[in-house]
Chains A and B, each alone.
Chain A
Amino acid sequence: MAAPTYQETILALERFWADYGCVILQPYHTEVGAGTFNPATFLRCLGPEPWKAAYVEPSLRPSDGRYGENPYRFQQFWQYQVVLKPTPDDVLDVYFESLRTLGIDPVRHDVRLVEDDWEGPTLGASGLGWEVWIDGLEVTQFTYFQQLGSLDLDLITAEIVYGTERLAMFLQGKTSAFELEWAPGVTWGDVYRENERQWSVYNFEQADVSLLTRRFEEHERDCERLLEARLPIPAYDEVLKCSHAFNLLDARGAISVTERAAYIARVRNLARRVALAYLEPRRRGEAAAEEKSPAHAAA
């Protein structure tokens, strides 16, 4: 059997999780460092409503750029993100089933779950979980969220993040992402190598520090204004924009270690306020429901 192309691997994941009952979403329109930042994860995993979704997310890590010269490090790569809330009891079995669908038979491979507790300091997010190794290669991060927006969660979400390049490299037996066959006759490098070069130049050399510093503050102010207006969903986009501006400033080496902690705290504070604002109508709703409940009526 010929190895699947990169796009076939992604399509197989889409098919598998659609069949499982997930809402299949498209990537978000705003720069994010990981699929966790997409509101389909951050906002939807707050509160008591069940939610199952899956999507591809371009993850931007400006400081990981290597000018297209390192076959393992990129400033943009593609995650396949799955969130299941609440967590089904057999979530790991379902995950391993998805690997079988991709053509990975766990019986023939060395599959291990290696402790990796995840923390996203800008989002006030944390969880416990693993790196999933197949024959020593980390192909997935699996996390049971415990906190988002610095708030303990009502329902625990299982987050499954496939590194699509890693997975495809494994399936195609390639040692460089640039050599991955994306579609027949087209490689990952054909599509993105020049991107990597130019964006690395931008991230490390050209990004305008004073412009970004100003933007960070403008987005922060706008986020606060939108929170006042009780619009947590647009306010959250401003958090993402702050976070990306911060990542760029960091890649430019424009932030000292002290400032770094302060910037992170500012973004985390906004994320927490957005989370609270997002939950507020639900909390009000609960209170109203309780007042109307017969138990209260009797009392």
Chain B
Amino acid sequence: MRRPPRRSHLPTLLLEIGCEELPASACEAAAAQLPDLVRAHVWADGEPRIFVGPRRLAFLLQDLPEHEADRTDRRRGPSEEVAFDAGGKPTAAAEGFARSNGVAVDELERADGFVWATRRTEGRRMTEVLPDALARVVRGLAFPKTMRWDGGGLRFARPVRWLCAKLDGETVTVSLDPIPSEGTSQGHRFVAGEVEIPAASEYAERLRDAGVEPDQDVRREEIVRALEDLGEWSDPYGVLDEVIHLVERPLVLTGRYDERFLELPARVVETVMQSHQRYFPLEPGRFAFVANGGDPDVIRAGHENVLAGRLDDAAFSYARDVELGIEAMRDRLPAITFHARAGSFAEKAVRLASLSEALGGGEASVEAAALAKADQASTMVHEFPELEGVIGAVYAREAGMPEAVAKAIEEQYLPAGPRDRLPETAAGRVLAAVDRVDNLAVAFALGERPTGSRDPYGLRRGAIGLCRLAVEGGLEIPVPELVARDLALLTEQGADVSDDPSEVWPFVLERLEGLLDVPVEFVRAARAAPVAELRAVALLARALAAAADSASFTQAHTAYDRASRLAGRANGAASELDPRLITDEAEAALVGALAVVAPRMEAAVEERDFAQAIEAAGELGAPVGRFFDEVLVMAEDRAVRANRLRLLLDVRDALAMLGDLSQIPR
């Protein structure tokens, strides 16, 4: 028979850290850290429920034990000879050791030549522990940016103005002077004052009565539900995550804006709404915003005015830009610095056009490259940097440029993140790739490659984008060749080159290791293949991984292993194979097989049909095996020996078209 569940008498703990308005990033940092801090400082098995919002970071912890866990410490004392005299009686040393550990002398243990005291500490009552433990939780929170505000010495994301800690109905005074900790909280800043929290478990309910929704998930749901009810809403820049931490009680309202702004490009209107105001675009002419309370009619008018003002400002800038035109903007690029030591955007445009050509990008991408950075001279990009590219495309269309050119300009910054979409057009992919290659080459050439967490130009992200353009976009990107070309141009343009940028290639390949869906050793093997082209490395890595269990691969791997091991160790290989020195039948068979297989592999690699290349490579397995069984490589005749070593090197080099197979463990 099952026993009815026993009603828990264990108490619930609340800690609320009352703050001045916290940034959303601080709320998220606290939500991520609080569970571990609670387990470290309060209760190792605790599963706290977390509340974060602009004015409070809090947790509730149910069924907290009334005592800390008991502790046992076993301590080593003096050696047995010191602790006991010849008659086996405890000495003063033993007595002192026992006393200092709070045990009787006859409780001392003897082991391993020493005496030991085992001390049991009964866990203290939670009410005794909590004032300091909770202070440690508060102090333990780490934020991206912290500040001071008074003499209290605590650094926090924003000033902490109160603490409210309750163990059921009992107030816990947190030891964090001079911050008041009196068991009361604060309601909504303008509609409620101090709030009594009679018991920890009533926390959320009491705050809701005081105009605050403390649960971030509930706020999110409320906002999303209200937006859904309004119809088509969008959040192109992802401001929702921030908005849920900008309000304590969300009030979702709508406003309108004048139809004349619909003449602006839709992206401009969306950017104006989202980038500063954090509004959500609805159907044309309407927007939603999330207020923190107030009289809907009063605040709607205010928000509509503000948006109208900002759209007006944007329309003013847009009209000026259109009047100027994209070609005039391009002509201003010599005056705009791309990088202090690598010249202007005009010089960058020259490099991009040259690289696009080298990449076989065709007319549209070369033309787009020349205009790609023109919008850096626009007022709109100055006001809204997030519009770069997009607004350049608008101005290109205004100027009557071909759509392929405009689209490439628009897509040059894609993909912006690991999950962002790729450019749709071929010219866009080419431009996106060469822009990244140039960013990487410039930074490396100027000695500014990323180190540790320092990556101010987002080069890692750029390199990952480059890999995706090759892997998912199918673009062939011969990175080393492009970097070399870029370096030549940079030097010609008089850039302050200090370092060799050829390190860009391994840097990009390292990103590929993390990106590809195959075990890393296959990418490491493929990296060594003499293809020097990003897409090919990726295809080869996948082909190797796919063939890993096949007979061909095993044969090729073994042959590579044996050939490279012996040939690599021995000096004195001939510089070229001399057919007249081939005497042995097995040797002749290997020479014959190599003469057939190597060109087949080469052709397959050329075609990027790496599965075919692996299959061909496998055919060397048997002749290599037979060669080692029947032929003495280290023959006494030096010329014969040199010739055989040469043969093995040729075998190894042929197989190395598949990369460094020794990276793949068998």
Of B305-313, B427-435, B532-540, B596-604, the one contacting chain A is: B305-313
Please, which residues of chain B bring their CB within 8 A of the CB of A245? none
| A242 to B128 alpha-carbon distance, docked (Å) | 60
**Interface membership of A70, Cβ < 8 A:** yes
Q: Is B159 an interface residue (CB 8 A)?
A: yes
CB-based contact B308/A111 at 8 Å: no
* Partner of B150 from A86, A128, A130, A134 at Cβ < 8 Å: A86
Q: Does any Cβ of B come within 8 Å of A190's Cβ?
A: no
B309/A72 in contact, CB under 8 A: yes
Instruction: Count A-B pairs with CB separation below 8 Å.
Output: 109
Known: A70-B316, A72-B309. A109 touches B302 (CB 8 A): yes
Which B-chain residue is minimally distant from A131 (CB atoms)?
A: B276
Within 8 Å of chain B (Cβ to Cβ): is A253? yes
**Interface presence of B67 (CB below 8 A):** no
- Answer whether residue B246 sits at the interface, using C-beta atoms and an 8 A cutoff: yes
Q: In the bound complex, do residue A135 and residue B340 qualify as a contact, i.e. CB atoms below 8 Å apart? A: no
- For the complex, give the distance between the alpha carbons of A156 and B153 in Å: 12
B337 contacts which chain A residues (CB < 8 A)?
256-258
Cβ–Cβ contact B150 & A87, under 8 A: yes
Judge if A294 is at the interface, Cβ distance under 8 Å.
Answer: no
Say if the beta carbon of B298 comes within 8 Å of chain A.
yes
A25 interfacial contact with B, CB 8 Å: no
Interface size class of A (residues with CB under 8 A): 35 or more
Interface string of A155-186 (1 = CB under 8 A from B): 01000000000000010010100000000000
- Closest residue of B by beta carbon distance from A153: B148
CB within 8 A of A92: which of B20, B147, B191, B299? B20
| Contact call B306/A113, Cβ cutoff below 8 A | no
CA distance A277 to B214 in the complex (A): 49
Q: Is the CB of A111 within 8 A of B292?
A: yes
Residues on A with C-beta less than 8 A from B395 are: none
Among B54, B148, B308, B316, which residue has its beta carbon within 8 angstroms of that of A175? B308
Q: Check B24–A115 contact: CB distance below 8 A.
A: yes
Within 8 A of A (CB), among B245-275: 246-247, 251
Pair B303/A135 contact, Cβ less than 8 Å: yes
Residues of A within 8 A of B21 (CB): 112-115, 130
Q: Is A193 an interface residue (CB 8 A)?
A: no
**When the two chains form their complex, are residues B306 and A136 in contact, meaning their CB atoms are under 8 A apart?**
yes
Residues of A within 8 A of B336 (CB): 257
Given A70-B313, A109-B299, A112-B247, is A146 in contact with B294 using a C-beta cutoff of 8 Å?
no
Chain A positions within 8 Å of B157 at CB level = 128
Contacting pair A87 B145 (CB below 8 A): no
Within 8 A of B (CB), among A75-97: 86-87, 89, 92, 96
Task: Please name the residue on chain B nearest to A116 by beta carbon.
Answer: B23
A-B contact pairs, 16 of them (CB 8 A): A71-B312, A87-B150, A96-B190, A108-B295, A109-B295, A109-B298, A111-B190, A111-B294, A127-B147, A128-B157, A135-B299, A144-B159, A156-B148, A170-B302, A173-B305, A175-B312
> 11 new A-B pairs (CB below 8 Å) besides A72-B312, A127-B147, A156-B147?
A73-B313, A86-B151, A89-B150, A106-B190, A115-B23, A134-B302, A135-B294, A135-B301, A136-B277, A137-B306, A175-B309
Task: Give the 4 A-B residue pairs with the shortest CB-CB distance, closest first.
Answer: A135-B302, A257-B337, A113-B21, A110-B291
